[in-house]
Amino acid sequence: MTCYILRITDLPEAFTYQELEAIIAMSGSWNLDCSDMYIDQRRSDAAFVFCPKKVVAECILHVCTGEKVRGCAIKIEYCDNPPYYLVPHTHRPEKIKLGLW
């Protein structure tokens, strides 16, 4: 699988996992192909999102520079294997199908 790893850091202290999910869901409303994404791990100030299409990385970057999450940093890393092993985690990442919320 060709994918891009989004390493999002410097999130506001009060930022919640649900808000991150909402940001990802928003990308679906921009008519982008965001049907396959993986959220693997959420720390107090960082999150990792796995995506097979770079366009999703770009739309999340757009949100990161917007009013709601201004100042967060994003690093996009390329990978060509299933992403399950790339970030330590205790369970298999939940596959999120966008557009179902």
What CA–CA distance (Å, rounded) separates 26 from 61? 12
Asked whether residue 91 is assigned to any structural domain, the reply reads no
Residue 33 in this model has a pLDDT that exceeds 50: no
Q: Is residue 88 part of a domain?
A: no
> Residues of the chain with pLDDT > 70: what percent?
0
- Average pLDDT score over residue span 20-24: 68
The residue segments making up the domain with residue 42 are 3-83
What does the pLDDT read at residue 56?
Answer: 62
Cβ neighbourhood burial of 55 (10 Å; 0-12, 13-18, 19+): middle
Rounded to two decimals, what is the model's pTM? 0.44
**Is residue 71 in some structural domain?**
yes
93 in any annotated domain: no
Looking at the structure of the chain, the number of domains it has is 1
Nearest Cα residue to 50 out of 16, 17, 96, 99: 96
The CATH number linked to 16 is 3.30.70.330
Question: Cα Rg for the chain, rounded, in angstroms?
Answer: 12
Any domain includes 89: no
* Residue with more model confidence, 84 or 73: 73
Please compute the mean of the pLDDT values over residues 64-91 and round it to a whole number. 52
pLDDT at residue 53 above 50? yes
